[in-house]
Amino acid sequence: MMSVLTFVEEAGPCVSSESGANRSLIDQPGSAFTAFAFHLKSGLARFHDEYHSFLDGSADLDGPVVADPVNDLVQRIAVNRAIVGRVDRILSPEARARAFGSASHPADSQAARDLADSVVTVFSTMLQWGREARGSVVETSWRPIYDVLSNLAREPLHQITRFADDMTAKAQAVKAELEAGRPPSKAPNVTLELTIGPGDMAALSNVLAASEVVPHHEVKKSRFSRK
To the question of domain 37-213 being in CATH 3.40.50, the answer is: no
Q: What is the pLDDT of residue 20?
A: 47
Residues of the chain with pLDDT under 70: 1-3, 5-7, 16-29, 212-227
Per the CB < 8 A criterion, the answer to whether 90 and 125 are in contact is no
Q: What is the pLDDT of residue 7?
A: 67
**Which residues are 15's β-sheet partners?**
195
Q: What is the pLDDT of residue 2?
A: 63
Q: What is the pLDDT of residue 220?
A: 40
Strands in the chain per DSSP E: 138-139, 224-225
Per the CB < 8 A criterion, the answer to whether 109 and 33 are in contact is no
Give φ, ψ of 41 to 5 degrees: -60, -45
Q: What is the pLDDT of residue 65?
A: 93
Contacts of 93 (CB under 8 A, 6+ apart): 22, 23
Q: What is the pLDDT of residue 169?
A: 93
- How do the domains of the chain map onto residue ranges? 37-213
How many Å apart are CA 31 and CA 207, to the nearest integer? Answer: 49
- Shortest CA distance to 32 belongs to which of 122, 167, 123, 124? 167
